[in-house]
Amino acid sequence: MGVTVFHQAPLALFALSLPMIFGLAVAMYFFLEFGSWMGRKHLRSGRSSIQETLGVIDGPIFALFGLLIAFTFSSALNRFDDRRKLIVEEANDIGTAYLRLDLLPVADREAVQGLFRSYLDSRIKTYELIPDMTAAVAEYDHSQDLQAQIWKDCVSGVAKTPNTLAGMQLLPAINAMIDITSTRTAAMQFHPPLIIFGMLMMMSLVTALLVGYQMAGLEKRSWLHVVLFIITISLTCYVILDIEYPRIGLIRMDATDVILKDLREGMSSK
């Protein structure tokens, strides 16, 4: 059984992020040049100064662009933090359930502990395989099978013990361990609508057009400012995408994944 969330189209968006951001930088330069050409044409017409034309237009547009960047950047960081917290939560849930296996009869306990180790290995591997989505889906399905087997064996083991605390404490812990996997999987698809990213790119080009239009009135263009403007905007758009998809780019979850790996090493048998 496949997992549709791993096949979401936004992943393809980040897979093309570097060429897309490079294309944005090139497009911004051409829009800036086009705006400069329009500005010079306007000046030659002698109708009015550029500042009179742009005074009531560029301010709101630049402000809207700044708000859009702030919104997408802030929301991306919030989702990044939420995903890290879910990794810690899953590690706690698995660790708690593993400790409560001591409530099972010895014969059942050892078999389930082995399943737990295989299950944790599978959970770690599932996210390490991204962006190979075919392999990640296959590994996710494997972990789901192990989940089902763990639940079945725990229910069977609880039924064999006279200790009533076994069912009251172990099964809820197993249930929490299972639930967090669905929560983490769902969190992967929590991204802004693609139209937001499209609007971010479009506003970058509009801003470049207005900047070029304003620069037409300068006697000498500062290429340093032109390059810094294009690089700053392009790099900011790239970082926003990078934070949105932390399993693929430069900003990653590796430091938080260590928590799961440490938990695995803490399990007695290998």
Angle, in degrees to the nearest 10, between helices 58-99 and 194-215: 150
Type of residue found at 208: A
Is residue 243 situated within a structural domain? no
pLDDT at 12: 52
CA dihedral over 155, 161, 164, 169, signed as positive or negative:
negative
**Tell me, what's the pLDDT at 147?**
94
pLDDT below 70 — which residues of the chain?
A: 1-16, 42-43, 45-56, 217-218, 268-270
**How many Cβ atoms from other residues are within 10 Å of residue 42's Cβ?**
18
The reported pLDDT for the residue numbered 36 is: 86
Cα separation, 37 vs 188, in Å, equals: 44
State residue 191's pLDDT score: 82
Under 8 Å between Cβ of 71 and 203:
no
Domain of residue 99, residue span: 4-230+253-266
Q: Which residues contact 13 (CB under 8 A, 6 or more apart)?
A: 20, 194, 197, 241, 245
Q: What pLDDT, on a 0 to 100 scale, did the predictor assign at position 52? A: 55
Q: Residue 42: name the closest of 31, 52, 50 by CA.
A: 50
Q: Confirm if 76 and 244 have CB atoms less than 8 A apart.
A: yes
Structure tokens at 26: 């090139």
d(CA 25, CA 229): 10
Quick check: is 140 in a domain?
yes
Q: What is the pLDDT of residue 208?
A: 92
User: Residue 116 domain-assigned?
Assistant: yes
Predicted confidence at residue 54, as pLDDT, reads: 59
Q: Do residues 160 and 112 make contact, with C-beta atoms less than 8 angstroms apart?
A: no
Count of domains in the chain? Answer: 1
- What are the tens digits of pLDDT across the range 149-171? 999 999 988 888 887 778 788 89
Q: Is residue 86 part of a domain?
A: yes
Confirm whether 235 is domain-assigned. no
pLDDT number for residue 49: 56
> What pLDDT, on a 0 to 100 scale, did the predictor assign at position 46?
62
In a domain, 80, yes or no: yes
Which of 179, 155, 176, 180 has the alpha carbon at shortest distance from 166? Answer: 155
pLDDT of residue 48: 56
Q: Is residue 51 part of a domain?
A: yes
Question: What would the two tokens of residue 128 be?
Answer: 């390490």
In a domain, 236, yes or no: no
